[in-house]
A and B are shown apart, each in its own frame.
Chain A
Amino acid sequence: MSDLNNRIKDVIIESLELEDITPDDIVDSAPIFGKNEKGEGLGLDSIDALELGIAIKEKFGVTFSTVKEETKKHFASVDALAAYISEHSKG
């Protein structure tokens, strides 16, 4: 599980060309887009979301629903994304 989380974090950093961020800086339960009330989160924007969606598809072979609300739920945090990927990946 945590191995998958780390792989996801690598994909996020690499595909979005994030600077100054290491996988250790990303909190597993914190939002990927925007921030939570504790101020945690990567603060990525909607353009990043499109980019990241494509990268996750390519790396993990999963597809996402076209329903925006559902997809939003899967991208809520690294943990949520990992759960979705482990459930839906072909492997």
Chain B
Amino acid sequence: MKSIAGKVLFTAISVLYPLIVYCGLEFWGLSPRRLSLLLLSLAFFHFLNFTHNSSKLDRLRMAVLIALVLVCAVIAFFADNILFVKFYPVLVNLSLLVFFGFTLWRTPSFAFRMAMLGNKNLINSPSLKSVERYCNKVTLAWCVFFVVNTSISTTTVFIGSDKVWSLYNGLISYILVGIFFTVEFGIRKMVQSKMQSYVPVCDLEQDSRPDGALVAEGKTWGDFVSDVSKVRYYLEARENTPWILHCEDSYFFTVSLLAMLQSGRKALVTANRQDAFIKEIKKPEYGFLTDEPFTGDIAGMPATMIQDVLVSENAHCSDGDNSREIKFGKFDKTKAEMVMYTSGTTGEPKAVFKLFMQFENELFELVKVFGNDWVDRKVFSTVNHHHIYGLLFTALLPIATGLPFRRHRIDFPTELANIAGEAAVVASSPAFLKRLAAEADKPIDFKCPPIIYSSGGPLPVEVAQKASELVGYWPMEIYGSTETGGIAYRQSKNGAVWKPFEVCKMSVAENGCLNIKSSYILEAEGFTTGDLVDLYDDGRFLLKGRSDSIVKIEEKRISLPEVENRLKQTGLVQDVRVVPMVGKRQYLAAAIVLNEAGREKFAGLPKLAINNYFHDYLLQFIENTVSPKKWRYLEELPQNTEGKIRMRDIQALFNLPESPNFKILKFRREPGALTAKLLFPATSDYYDGHFPEFKLLPAVAQVDMVLRLARNFLDVPKKLSKIHRTKFASPILPDVPVMLKVSYNADAAKVTFSFTSMPDAQGNEKMHSSGSFTMNPEESLG
């Protein structure tokens, strides 16, 4: 039908049909036969509309409708029967039901088609999937509505009076449609306001969010834009050089990073700000932006404090240059460069080059999968934002989605109780959750359960369960690495299998390890991890341990996780690492943390008895040759600052022969520094003659201990050239644990140490002794 007048007439007759029929019968004295002509004309109008309907199946639907209307009209005409005249509204309802139902089957659903027409940007939004799900529900609701409406309409045809039929089909039915539409529209607006207001980081502009929107404590979007602008003025007034970035405060970090990206400055993001490391990565022309004073001696430009930049650029502004325009806006994500440093689980930390595009693609994916859970929450972190997982979850995601974040890390599990009143997203790690599970004794009463993510290593299922009992949410684990970004996710209550992010294409490399190709990996051949994998057809997978976790001991292959799992099976072990060692022969060695049951069981027994217990247990499952030959029982396994347990730290522990004279209860090794909790038993030879009545650890034994540990863990030269400035403040007593801190400055060949008591409840330590030695790096005498 071409003319507008025709369309209006058709619609008017169609809508007013029940009223016209009623008036015809009641007031104008028309017979059903005459009224059937009206029905006939409607069939004709439908027929004229026919060609406009594009899809084949839709044309079929219209053809059926027209045929049925015709049949009704013809019967009504010949039988002069009003019943068939009254069928028209039923048929229209049925036809609409078929139409809506059909789009549910042949997606996209009708409501989703409308939504797509209404918002052209929707197709590129990470929320697309959830919008579609919602629209499908709406379409289904319409179907239900038409079923009900058709039934009522049919009932009025058969049992109602003409008046009731006319009233329902000509008025009530329309009102119901109106109410239904209004309610759905209202709900849709509510849902839409809850959808993430996601903006890609590279597309952020000053007006992307309202000025007053909260970014972090005490900082609004307006402050954020202005601070980024100040840092940009600072950066852009200087030569275009790469900048090293380290800020403990997440707000300063995010401001600095965004300023570097927007100004086109390459950002080297490092968690490690020790002198030696900064010196290693910093070329003379590089800048160094940080939020804590840096005392290290670095060549070229000294470190820049971001606080100074924000103040001085501000002052500059108030000098009269108030009109200085805000520098804040889009940048090219395919050109913005970054460098990240791996945490070195398996080797030395290494630099990984990144284009911002990689992060942007991953953010999109994360918002798509998790975004809906985050609405109206605040982001908290227990991890370091200088590493990829922290960077994405606690710095970039809040900025991209407009969620506020806390500026300072949660360091202690006890702090979680302080945020119980907040609706929180917490980016956490196995290390933190393990401590939470071990320390918390009663559930934390959260106003609404926080959403907890865990990444950086596998989260033992019992820890996940304990955490869920404590906080009400089973942690969502993210599997990924600096090189690959996020690969997959799981909640271990649903099994150990990982579900990959949609953009990740999985395959198994020749060595049995997982290979990933995705839009956030630059290399076309993808990246092959060191993780052995069982890959299912649908892309989901099980991790089978690291490829370097399969070792050969005297020609016999053994999987280290297998031995570890067997030891855990005893029910006496809280944590364990088994490492391969090479001495006169190859053997395995096990570092074990006993759990409460284990401590109870072995209380008072000699170490040999504990060794034998585990050895005998293992022999039920594995050969003697691959059963661990050496054992250490610690209070906790050594972790680096990212909470990762490194094989080489455990191996270093075993390189130091076991002695009855001292016990290492726990230790932590960082570059050039060692902290160890030690105990000198009363039976130790060190006390011989010193003094029989009142045993004290002699100075010579203390010095010997320092040198022994320094040589073993810090690669300190064998030969001592000078002992200086050594103070002995208070005695070290038998069976009382002490803390030894040793650091080694290789350039000066200087070892510095202190023995202190364990911190008391207030965190105070008492000094036992301290001092320093100079070593002789010439090891010619061997």
Contact A20 B624 (CB under 8 A): no
Select one of B585, B616, B623, B657 contacting A19, CB under 8 A.
B657
Residue on A nearest B654 in the bound complex, by CB: A19
Contact B658 A47 (CB under 8 A): no
Residues of B within 8 A of A51 (CB): 584-585
Residues of A within 8 A of B585 (CB): 47-48, 51
Report A61 CB to chain B, min CB distance, Å.
Answer: 21
| Interface residue ranges of A15-50 to B (CB < 8 Å) | 17, 19-21, 25, 34-35, 39, 43-48
Contact B625 A20 (CB under 8 A): no
Contact B608 A25 (CB under 8 A): yes
B620-636 to A contact mask, C-beta < 8 Å, 1/0: 00011101001100000
Assembled-state Cα–Cα distance A45/B626 (Å)? 9
Residues of A within 8 A of B631 (CB): 19-20
The verdict on A17 contacting B583 (CB below 8 Å), with A35-B616, A45-B625 known, is yes
Residues of B within 8 A of A39 (CB): 616
Assembled-state Cα–Cα distance A61/B611 (Å)? 33
Contact A19 B584 (CB under 8 A): no
Report A10 CB to chain B, min CB distance, Å.
Answer: 16
Assembled-state Cα–Cα distance A78/B206 (Å)? 84
- Indicate whether B607 reaches chain A with its CB closer than 8 angstroms: yes
The verdict on A20 contacting B584 (CB below 8 Å), with A25-B608, A39-B616, A43-B615 known, is no
Residue on B nearest A45 in the bound complex, by CB: B624
Interface centre among B607, B612, B623 (most CB of A within 10 A): B612
Contact B616 A20 (CB under 8 A): no
Report A27 CB to chain B, min CB distance, Å.
Answer: 12
Contact B554 A43 (CB under 8 A): no
Contact A43 B624 (CB under 8 A): yes
Contact A46 B625 (CB under 8 A): yes
Assembled-state Cα–Cα distance A21/B630 (Å)? 11
Residue on A nearest B615 in the bound complex, by CB: A43
Residues of A within 8 A of B615 (CB): 43
Assembled-state Cα–Cα distance A51/B627 (Å)? 17
The verdict on A20 contacting B583 (CB below 8 Å), with A35-B616, A43-B624, A47-B625 known, is no
Residues of A within 8 A of B583 (CB): 17
| Interface residue ranges of B605-621 to A (CB < 8 Å) | 606-608, 611-612, 615-616, 619
| Interface residue ranges of B724-777 to A (CB < 8 Å) | none
Report B431 CB to chain A, min CB distance, Å.
Answer: 29
Residue on A nearest B583 in the bound complex, by CB: A17
Assembled-state Cα–Cα distance A87/B562 (Å)? 46
Assembled-state Cα–Cα distance A47/B587 (Å)? 10
Assembled-state Cα–Cα distance A19/B612 (Å)? 12
Report A73 CB to chain B, min CB distance, Å.
Answer: 20
| Interface residue ranges of B623-673 to A (CB < 8 Å) | 623-625, 627, 630-631, 657-658
Report B136 CB to chain A, min CB distance, Å.
Answer: 64
Assembled-state Cα–Cα distance A33/B293 (Å)? 61
Residues of B within 8 A of A17 (CB): 583-584, 657
Residues of B within 8 A of A46 (CB): 624-625
Assembled-state Cα–Cα distance A51/B630 (Å)? 17
Report A23 CB to chain B, min CB distance, Å.
Answer: 12
Assembled-state Cα–Cα distance A24/B657 (Å)? 20
Residue on B nearest A41 in the bound complex, by CB: B612
The verdict on A43 contacting B612 (CB below 8 Å), with A19-B630, A19-B657, A20-B631 known, is yes
Assembled-state Cα–Cα distance A51/B585 (Å)? 9
Report B563 CB to chain A, min CB distance, Å.
Answer: 15
| Interface residue ranges of A40-76 to B (CB < 8 Å) | 43-48, 51
Residues of B within 8 A of A25 (CB): 608
| Interface residue ranges of B502-526 to A (CB < 8 Å) | none
Assembled-state Cα–Cα distance A19/B587 (Å)? 13
Assembled-state Cα–Cα distance A43/B627 (Å)? 10
Select one of B554, B611, B627 contacting A20, CB under 8 A.
B611
Assembled-state Cα–Cα distance A21/B585 (Å)? 18
Residues of B within 8 A of A44 (CB): 624
Interface centre among A17, A34, A35, A45 (most CB of B within 10 A): A45
Report A30 CB to chain B, min CB distance, Å.
Answer: 12
Residues of A within 8 A of B584 (CB): 17, 51
Contact A19 B624 (CB under 8 A): no
Select one of A19, A34, A45, A48 contacting B658, CB under 8 A.
A19
The verdict on A47 contacting B616 (CB below 8 Å), with A19-B630, A19-B658, A20-B608 known, is no
| Interface residue ranges of B101-138 to A (CB < 8 Å) | none
Report B373 CB to chain A, min CB distance, Å.
Answer: 51
Assembled-state Cα–Cα distance A46/B624 (Å)? 9
Assembled-state Cα–Cα distance A19/B623 (Å)? 20
Contact B554 A47 (CB under 8 A): yes
Residue on B nearest A39 in the bound complex, by CB: B616
Report B659 CB to chain A, min CB distance, Å.
Answer: 9
Report B730 CB to chain A, min CB distance, Å.
Answer: 32
Assembled-state Cα–Cα distance A39/B608 (Å)? 13
Residues of A within 8 A of B616 (CB): 35, 39, 43
Assembled-state Cα–Cα distance A32/B768 (Å)? 45
Assembled-state Cα–Cα distance A34/B616 (Å)? 10
Binding site for A on B (CB under 8 A): 554, 583-585, 606-608, 611-612, 615-616, 619, 623-625, 627, 630-631, 657-658
Given contacts A35-B616, A44-B624, A47-B625, 12 further A-B contacts (CB under 8 A): A17-B584, A17-B657, A19-B630, A19-B657, A20-B608, A25-B608, A43-B612, A43-B615, A45-B623, A45-B624, A45-B625, A46-B625
Subset of 18 A-B contacts with CB under 8 Å: A17-B657, A19-B630, A19-B631, A19-B658, A20-B606, A20-B608, A20-B611, A20-B658, A25-B608, A34-B624, A35-B616, A43-B612, A43-B615, A43-B616, A43-B619, A48-B585, A51-B584, A51-B585
8 smallest CB-CB distances across A and B, nearest first, come from A45-B624, A19-B658, A45-B625, A20-B608, A20-B607, A47-B554, A47-B585, A19-B630
